[in-house]
Amino acid sequence: MKNKYKYFYIAFLISIIYFATGCQRPDKSVKNTPLAQKGLLNLSNCNFSETFNLEGEWEFYPHQLLNPRDTISWKNVKKYTQKVPSTWGEHQIEGKTMSNFGYGTYRLRVLLPHQVPTLAIKLLSFGTAYEIYINGRLVGQNGKVGINKQSYEPYMLPQVIPFTNYTEKIDILVHISNFDHKDGGFWNEIKLGDANIIQMQRDRLVAIDLILAGCFIIMAVYHFGMFLLRRKDLAAFYFSWVNVFFAIRTLLTDEKYLLHLFPNIIWEVTFRIENLSVYTALIFYVLFFRAMYKDDFSRWAKNFIVGSSFLFIIIISTSTPYVFSEALSVGYFLLIFSAMYGLYVLRKAMGNKKMGAGALFFGFLVLFSALFNDVLNDFKLIHTLSLSSYGLLAFAFLQSFALSVRYAKAFTQVEELSENLEKKVEERTQDLNEKTIIIEKKKVDLEIQKNLIQKKNENTAASINYASRIQNAIFGSSEGVASNFKECFILLQPRDIVSGDFYWFTEAKRTGTNSLGEDNKTLFLKVIAAGDCTGHGIPGAFMTVLANTLLDELINTNKVSQPAKILSLLDRQLLMKLQKQGVNDGMDISMLVFDEENKKVTFSGANNDMYYVRGGELHQVTASKCPIGGDMKMYKNKKKFENTVIDYQDGDVFYLFSDGYQDQFGGADNSKYYKKNFRNFLLSISHLPLKQQKEELLNEHLRWKGGYHQTDDILVMGIRV
């Protein structure tokens, strides 16, 4: 390991350790924060610019769910005190260790100053269902508290609960029951403080979780992209999945943001997924290390760790939460063993001077420290924040740094080989005369340039061909679109490999009036559009992807079904995305919405007209004379898109198109084909089956173009109803 990298690794490790130690919960003895004693917490002399953990001795009534409004009946119930936070299994009552299965009531009275702001409490998760009352009023709950497994439902969702109906003393009562998890009881503290501060702290923690999850997803996409570019690099493939599963775990731990998005997911499912993500990620981790350092990572270790992980995955998937939560205590030893063996492999690889091993060693050391912290925290030996997500993120960045070092060294080696080759050529040709040397050198230079140009052309063509496949996948197959109509054809001829013209189709379900005049009936609409983006080739193709995305959002997500409104919103969205970057590109588009129930079709267009043929006559429906997007100053407050509703008849043929067909140069005098010729030709073939019309249009285009190049992208669509 070179010195210039060693100090970077050490500085990075020190910063992570400093960050981790800074995340520890405050020491109560140092801060002199009051602790509850015998069920009473005195905060009357405290400044509520801070938050307080309601820790210490709470009153505890085992096997009782006391009525918070009937304190008189409590006199006949035996009272105990219990340390909070802690689990039931950590305590004894009358010489007997408590079971972690059961139910009970906790109570704490809190004395407040004369004047306090609006207060709130923050609760994480208890084992595994609770109800909380303040001054006799139910203010929050998780799951359903019951006296047996049949009458209760477990759930774990962090909450922030503001409340205002308090005096200078508040009485907090918590009912807790557990019949599923290996640990029951009040295992997390409650925070009390200014509602704004509590909410701000919660929002900050949620933001951190989202940033971490986003980083993991970005790293997953980055490494998966590396794998797609070089399929032999399985290490990148495995590491991308490690990041995916850690993103899932990040959203299911601590603030559990995923449960805020999907609150109806039952507790057992989330608990299983949370733990499955760990051992699935461990499998991909081992495969990643094995792919990176096959000579240093023994086969028996790989088989042992992967086999053990599969065993835990089976236990988690098939057994009850109590059984697999008990088994996970043993699983921590597998995680620690895997981490220690990973450090051993990386240290061995460093000794063998394997490229990138130094960066991975220090990154893995950070991850191992974070993992060890979380294990001690889970066993209640220390009280710190969960750091495994931070550790993996640090490792992921260092792994990317190691890869960049590897590629940089490979490039340097290529340069050195190139320089050595050039020196050898000079040595071998120095005995030749000056003229021969010049000629030979020119031949070599020309050959090198030829090969470079040929290679660049091949790479460029391969990239564009791949982009074309992606674009076709986004558009969907023309046969798939055609299958939704009586007859339909789509003629798409890019000028280059990728197209700036595009078609878009979807089926939408809306509520409206049917053909019998009945209101609030379900109508099935078919939406089809033909677009012509500014430019062609790759720039135009990028615009088609953006247009497809925006149309999908407006029609399928936002449920907009009126063409004029769709175009107006599409124009606004496109301007918002492009104008702030100083881009004035846009598109022309025409759109049809078919209501087959009422035999109506609605048209709206931006610079793209629509033709339809009925009874041997061609009719033109004019679009608005303004584009989607474009120069905002030129069209400021002047854009207006209109709907045209047509009662269609059986046999009508509708045509959507871009301007590429009619703008093609050719013929005897190399002139444009023009709209008039295009309309007349469409009318002349409109009686033919649409499949044959497509062939006739293509043959006419080739005949007119002759030996000239194609002028622009071409799109023509025909639909018979």
3-state SS string for 159-174: EEEEECCCCCEEEEEE
Is a pLDDT exceeding 50 seen at residue 7? no
Q: Residue 22 above 50 pLDDT?
A: no
DSSP β-bridge partners for residue 80: 60
Which is higher by pLDDT, 330 or 374? Answer: 330
Count Cα atoms within 13 angstroms, Cβ side, for 31. Answer: 13
CA distance linking residue 374 with residue 635, whole number of Å: 59
* CATH number of residue 557's parent domain: 3.60.40.10
> For residue 37, what is the DSSP state?
B
Helices (H), 430-485: 434-475, 478-482
Residue 712 lies in a domain: yes
User: How far is residue 369 CA from its own chain's centroid?
Assistant: 28
* CA–CA gap between residue 117 and residue 133 (Å, rounded): 20
pLDDT band at 24; cut points 50, 70, 90: very low
Q: Which pair of tokens denotes residue 227? A: 């794998």
pLDDT tens, position by position, 631-664: 777 776 778 899 999 999 999 999 999 999 999 9
Q: Is residue 126 situated within a structural domain?
A: yes
What is the domain-level CATH number for residue 55? 2.60.120.260
Question: 4-18, 144-158, 309-323: which has the minimum mean pLDDT?
Answer: 4-18
Question: Phi/psi of residue 156, each to 5°?
Answer: -140, 105
Q: How far apart are the first and last CA of the chain?
A: 72
Number of domains in the chain: 4
CA-CA distance, 218 to 705, in Å (whole number)? Answer: 47
Nearest one of 165, 647, 551, 205 to 390, comparing CA atoms: 205
More confident residue, 705 or 5: 705
Q: Kindly report, residue by residue over 211-225, the tens digit of the pLDDT.
A: 888 888 888 888 888
Please check whether residues 109 and 243 belong to one and the same domain. Answer: no
Quick check: is 350 in a domain? yes
Task: Say what the pLDDT of residue 311 is.
Answer: 92
The answer to whether residue 5 is domain-embedded is no
119 and 228 in a single domain? The answer is no
Cβ neighbors of 235 (< 8 A, separation 6 or more) are 288, 291, 292
Q: Is residue 234 exposed (0-12), middle (13-18) or buried (19+ Cβ within 10 Å)?
A: middle
d(CA 613, CA 651): 9
Beta bridge partners of 588: 532
| CA angle, residues 352, 354, 357, in degrees to nearest 5 | 110
Q: Please check whether residues 226 and 240 belong to one and the same domain.
A: yes
Tokens found for residue 471: 């674009």
**Which pLDDT score, from 0 to 100, does residue 49 have?**
83
Both 580 and 487 in one domain: the answer is yes
In a domain, 382, yes or no: yes
- 3-state SS track over 192-230: EEEHHHHHHHHHHHHHHHHHHHHHHHHHHHHHHHHHHHC
Judge if 221 and 274 occupy the same domain: yes
Radius of gyration of the chain (CA): 35
Q: Is 657 found in the same domain as 534?
A: yes
Assigned domain for 13 exists: no
* Co-location of 466 and 331 in the same domain: no
Q: For residue 42, what pLDDT is reported?
A: 92
| Residue type at position 714 | I
Residue 449, pLDDT > 50, answer yes
How large is the greatest C-alpha to C-alpha distance in the chain, in angstroms?
A: 116
Contact between 578 and 509 under an 8 Å Cβ cutoff? The reply is no
Tokens of 39: 């069920």
d(CA 47, CA 112): 10
Task: Let me know whether 241 and 304 are in one domain.
Answer: yes
User: Considering only 546-550, 576-580, 601-605, which range has the smallest mean pLDDT?
Assistant: 576-580
Kindly state the average pLDDT of the residues 3-7: 46
Averaged pLDDT for residues 687-692: 93
Its domain, for residue 307, covers: 204-407
CA-nearest of 657, 641, 500 to 571 is 641
Confidence check: pLDDT of 2 > 50: no
Asked if 658 and 694 sit in the same domain, the reply is yes
**pLDDT reported for residue 21:** 45
Give counts: helices (H), strands (E), the chain. Answer: 16, 26
Confidence tier at 514 by pLDDT (50, 70, 90): low
Whether residue 551 is contained in a domain is answered as yes
Same domain, 189 and 296: no
pLDDT over threshold 60, residue 77: yes
Is 177 within the bounds of a domain? yes
Residue 404 C-alpha from the chain's centroid: 25
Q: Where is the domain boundary, 147, 167, 199?
A: 199
Q: Distance between CA 100 and CA 326 in Å, rounded? A: 12
pLDDT tens-digit readout, 454-477? 777 666 666 666 666 776 777 777
pTM score, whole prediction? 0.52
The C-alpha atoms of residue 28 and residue 263 are separated, in whole angstroms, by 35
Instruction: Say if residue 594 is in the same domain as residue 705.
Output: yes
pLDDT at 643: 94
What confidence tens digit (pLDDT) does each residue in 388-445 have?
A: 667 777 776 776 666 566 656 655 666 677 677 767 766 766 666 666 667 777 777 7
Pairwise CA distance, residues 400 & 263, whole Å: 36
Paired with 589 in beta bridges are 531, 607
Alpha helices in 352-387 (DSSP H): 357-378
Residues 393 and 464 placed together within one structural domain of the fold: no
